[in-house]
């Protein structure tokens, strides 16, 4: 199997972590090496294809984290990548990594998520198989800096029984985001008399991979939504913006029983977040 972990820096939980955590100068000077099996070659601009194929093997499908954003808080996130490939001689194995940067040339990327464990493959026929690669990303080590949030690249590799292989460094993109959440959410008073004022408040927070804590996330648009007790659908009542510390507060008029919700839609670096509170109107 060509793809095995060989990095310049320490390896933690099956993914790359730079030797000098939270030391920017050291990080810049000591970027990770390419895992074995992925070639080092120049690419022509951002997201230019950097492929290598030997023989008639093809990769037909790749599903990573169920095609959803990879959301990591201040702990660990484990997810799977499934690589489906075909070759007349049959499929031997496959591998995949997520990487952050412009190219897989040495010095061209500053983060990688991969596993040291071999893929497990289901052989659907004599010529095709789907292989599962399980990756665990850990905040503070693999994701050693919050600046790594955003768009990552998915590189994949497959090998046939006769030695044919194919590598695609830019097979697709995947968003790796910091987890967002609400704290202290409350709609009060409850119960409340119909026609009286309800005050809805809470704080929007976002995980820091650099410091392994949640901090208030300021200047973000958050929707106040309501679902009547006899309904399954939320409607947006108003949109408000969080303060510099992430705090939110607004008022509405009580009309019927139902659930109030703060809904944060997320962005390119942060996940979706919701908080709920049911209010009895009398």
Could you list the pLDDT tens digit for every one of the 282 residues in the chain?
A: 333 333 233 233 333 332 222 223 223 223 334 444 444 333 323 334 468 999 999 999 999 999 999 999 999 999 999 999 999 999 999 999 999 999 888 788 999 999 989 999 999 999 999 999 999 999 999 999 999 999 999 999 999 999 999 999 999 999 999 999 999 999 999 999 999 999 999 999 999 999 999 999 999 999 999 999 999 999 999 999 999 999 999 999 999 999 999 999 999 999 999 999 999 999
pLDDT of residue 230: 92
C-alpha–C-alpha distance, residues 28 and 108, integer Å = 11
**CA dihedral sign of residues 201, 179, 26, 151:** negative
Tokens, residue 8: 């310049």
How much is the pLDDT for 50?
63
pLDDT of residue 11: 32
Q: What is the pLDDT of residue 275?
A: 98
C-alpha to C-alpha distances, 116 to 12, 95, 96, 203, nearest whole angstrom: 10, 10, 11, 39
Task: Using alpha carbons, select from 166, 155, 112 the residue that is nearest to residue 136.
Answer: 112
pLDDT tens track for 251-271: 999 999 999 999 999 999 999
Say whether both 151 and 228 belong to one domain.
Answer: no
Q: Is residue 113 within 8 Å of 81, Cβ to Cβ?
A: no
Domain of residue 270, residue span: 180-279
Q: 73 and 170, same structural domain?
A: yes
Could you tell me if 19 and 105 lie in one domain?
yes
Based on the fold, state whether residues 140 and 50 are members of the same structural domain: yes
State how far the Cα of 124 lies from the Cα of 135, in Å rounded to an integer: 23
Same domain, yes or no: 19 and 100: yes
pTM of the model: 0.82
* Distance separating alpha carbons of residues 174 and 268, to the nearest angstrom: 11
Is 15 in the same domain as 153?
yes
The domain boundary residue, chosen from 121, 142, 176 = 176
Number of domains in the chain: 2
Residues across the chain: 282
Same domain for 168 and 40?
Answer: yes
- Residue 93 to residue 39: CA distance in whole angstroms: 17
């Amino acid at each position: 199997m060509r793809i095995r972990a060989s990095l310049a820096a320490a390896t933690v939980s099956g993914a790359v972590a730079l030797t000098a955590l939270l030391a920017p100068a050291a990080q810049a000077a000591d970027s990770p090496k390419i895992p074995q099996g992925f070639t080092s070659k120049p690419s022509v601009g951002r997201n230019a294809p950097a492929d290598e194929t030997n023989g008639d093997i093809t990769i037909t499908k790749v599903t990573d984290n169920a095609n959803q954003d990879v959301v990591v808080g201040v702990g660990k996130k484990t997810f799977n990548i499934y690589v489906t490939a075909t070759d007349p001689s049959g499929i031997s194995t496959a591998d995949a990594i997520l990487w952050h940067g412009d190219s897989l040339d040495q010095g061209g990327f500053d983060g990688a998520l991969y596993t040291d464990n071999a893929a497990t493959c289901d052989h659907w026929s004599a010529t095709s198989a789907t292989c599962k690669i399980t990756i665990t990303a850990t905040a503070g080590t693999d994701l050693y800096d919050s600046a790594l949030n955003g768009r990552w690249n998915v590189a994949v590799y497959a090998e046939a029984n006769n030695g044919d292989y194919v590598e695609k460094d830019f097979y697709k993109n995947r968003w790796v985001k910091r987890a967002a959440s609400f704290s202290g959410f409350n709609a009060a008073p409850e119960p409340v008399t119909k026609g009286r004022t309800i005050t809805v408040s809470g704080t929007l927070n976002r995980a820091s991979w650099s410091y392994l804590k949640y901090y208030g996330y300021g200047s973000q648009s958050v929707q106040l939504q309501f679902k009547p007790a006899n309904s399954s659908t939320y409607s947006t009542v108003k949109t408000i913006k969080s303060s510099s510390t992430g705090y939110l507060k607004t008022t509405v008029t009580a009309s019927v029983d139902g659930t109030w919700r703060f809904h944060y839609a997320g962005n390119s670096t942060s996940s979706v977040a919701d908080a709920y509170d049911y209010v009895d109107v009398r």
